Structure 1
Amino acid sequence: MEYRGSTVYNQDDFFSEYMKRRNRIDSPNNAIEGPIIHELIRDVDQKNILDLGCGDASFGKELLLLSANSYLGIEGSEQMIKVAETNLKDTVGSICYSSIEDYNFPTDSFELITSRFVLHYISNIELIFQKVFNSLRENGQFVFSVQHPLTTASNESKQSGDRRESWIVDDYFLTGERKEPWINKIVVKYHRTIEQYFTILRKTGFRVDQLREGTPKRIHFKSEEEFLRRQRIPVVLVFSCFKME
């Protein structure tokens, strides 16, 4: 069986194992992607924030503690929603139970829209980028991360297990659907080149301010071994874009 979008997170065994991996100090989320996201969004004071695919909303809690005016997380997994509601208890943050594709984006409503390791699950990325653009206020910022295209191009090096010790890059320019083995499940993702992401963003009307590939920094890793391993290939691609009208 294969899982699309956030449906895989509703499987108890997958969800439990995912949360263990996600919360490791040396996970790519915490050691690589997280520091970049925080650096790029800079000041969130009094900003209204939309987070697409918010997961457990721990990021939203952080943003509210940094004086964000409001936080709305969009999440399509029932399992994640339960954890997110607990994390946002006694805050002004809120959660909307919806897939990103089905969410009714309000026009000119947010100063910042974020999405972390989610948009590679989306088939029609052009439509989502347009909805994000319309939902941002003038000079609003869109910051998002995806799995790096060098790792989504081919799943050949994952056939022996989730922990890759070598990376095979193949079929890079053959974009589209990929069925990836992950935590004993088959998860559907969508492979795009870096050039495609950049071109679609520009075509939508965004000014692409920064592109980051997640250069590892030793300070963020507990393990020297994992730090050296993560220097071998990029696992994250991050864009910071602005709506300039």
Structure 2
Amino acid sequence: MKENKYDNDVFFQKYSQMLRSQKGLQGAGEWSELQKMLPAFAGQRVLDLGCGYGWHCKYAADHQASSVLGTDISEKMLQKAREINSAPQIQYQRIAMEDLDFPDESFDVVLSSLAFHYVQDFGTLAARIAQWVRPGGHFVFSVEHPVFTAYGTQDWYYDQNGKILHFPVDNYYYEGRREAVFLGEKVIKYHRTLTTYLNTLLINGFELQHVVEPQPPAEMLHLEGMKDEMRRPMMLLVAAVRK
């Protein structure tokens, strides 16, 4: 199943109002940590899987990447990327990441931001990425944290007055399809454990460099709801190198 919720007019309009959509990388709570994990881009061939608005593509291009390919299943996303994050060395392509095919060692760096939880078969995709990236090349990605995806609804438990009680974590070891609500709309995502994410990289010839559960940066804690983000991890950041 390859859901393309982002080409739905209502959903896309809601997404466009998010802080990360309006302010780019500086509006993404995880960026301050993710930025530290990125390799040097100068002279590198970069692939961005699920590139969305193209913020990471533009960052790579601005840091002298020799070529950048951003892929996404959403035409609306790519239209926006071409509008606000273009550069001579960036190309954008509409395609599901599961359908991509490249010769071995086509890239020096593979990136993905908050996209793999929409992919049903992470193992197969990771094996293909291991072929696409050269030995010594980098694979850096962010996903929704397994604690966040486990139960499925991705919402808090509230008391009768609407006050947050706690965040539900259940069925953690039962990997697979979840029906979540994101931006008020039903979205299909796929839960997998932390073990699965990390061991999948190891068995495909990657060496882990960094594993980070990013906290909200201090400068964002004044924003509505941000202090509650300290109560459970929402994201997982991973950086690895192909051996």
1:86: how far off?
1.5
Deviates more, 1:15-24 or 1:44-53: 15-24
Change in CA separation of 1:135 and 1:125 when aligned onto 2, cut-off 3 Å? same
Deviations 1:197-219 (A, max 9, x none): 11111111111111111123303
Change in CA separation of 1:164 and 1:39 when aligned onto 2, cut-off 3 Å? farther
Deviates more, 1:123-132 or 1:61-70: 61-70
Distance 1:168 1:187 in 2: 18
1:87-126 pair list within 5 angstroms = 87-126=84-123
1:146-225 pair list within 5 angstroms = 146-156=143-153, 158=155, 165=164, 166-219=166-219, 221=220, 223=222
Partner letter of residue 194 of structure 2? I
Matched, 1:237 2:203: no
- Tell me the equivalent position of 1:86: 83
Distance 1:169 1:40 in 2: 28
- TM-score where L is the length of structure 1: 0.88
- TM-score where L is the length of structure 2: 0.89
Distance 1:164 1:186 in 2: 23
1:26: how far off?
9.7
Percent of aligned pairs with the same residue?
26
Determine helix, strand or coil for the equivalent of 1:231: helix
Partner letter of residue 242 of structure 1? V
Which has the higher relative contact order, 1 or 2, with Cα contacts under 8 A spaced 6 or more apart? Answer: 1
Q: Which structure 2 segments of 5+ residues have no match?
A: none
Contact 2:30/2:215 (8 A) holds in 1: no
Contact 1:214/1:236 (8 A) holds in 2: yes
Distance 1:35 1:15 in 2: 25
Number of residue-to-residue matches in the alignment: 239
- Tell me the equivalent position of 1:55: 52
Partner letter of residue 135 of structure 1? W
Distance 1:167 1:25 in 2: 28
Change in CA separation of 1:184 and 1:231 when aligned onto 2, cut-off 3 Å? closer
Contact 2:15/2:21 (8 A) holds in 1: no
1:164: how far off?
9.7
Distance 1:157 1:94 in 2: 34
Distance 1:69 1:142 in 2: 17
After TM superposition, where is structure 1 displaced by more than 6 Å over at least 4 residues in a row? 24-29
1:140: how far off?
0.2
Contact 2:153/2:180 (8 A) holds in 1: no
Distance 2:212 2:131 in 1: 24
Distance 2:58 2:185 in 1: 30
Deviations 1:107-160 (A, max 9, x none): 111111000000011111111101111011110000011001111111356388
Partner letter of residue 231 of structure 1? M
Deviates more, 1:97-106 or 1:31-40: 31-40
Change in CA separation of 1:159 and 1:33 when aligned onto 2, cut-off 3 Å? closer
